[in-house]
Amino acid sequence: MKARIYRPAKTAMQSGTANTRQWVLEYEPEHRRTIDPLMGWISSDDMRSQVRLRFDSRDEAVAYATRQGIAYDIQPEHHRKRHIRAYADNFK
């Protein structure tokens, strides 16, 4: 049982920073997903793949994983460069 701790990046469809301030602990999948031959749906018998825990800080997530005896891997944060431009730059 291994988990990964990361801070999610904002999606391309959002302009604000909602849902990007908290740290997430997700379990790595233990079993492959299978395709149902009749309907074509993708399914898995791994119940831990549905668990997604949110924490206010990285230290809280690490403390939880350590307390529960979960092996974890911390992924670095995604930093976004902001390009501040004037509207007139679109017509140069």
Both structure tokens of 16: 């604000």
pTM of the model: 0.72
**Of 3, 18, 19, nearest in space to 61 by CA:** 3
Q: What is the CATH number of domain 1-9+21-29+49-77?
A: 3.30.160.190
Looking at 32-41, 58-67, 75-84, which range is the least confident one? 75-84
pLDDT digits (tens, 9 = 90+) for 20-47: 788 999 998 888 888 988 898 988 888 8
**Of 46, 9, 8, nearest in space to 24 by CA:** 8
10 pLDDT above the threshold of 80:
no
State how far the Cα of 82 lies from the Cα of 84, in Å rounded to an integer.
6
CA distances from 23 to 18, 26, 46, 64, 80 (A): 12, 10, 22, 12, 17
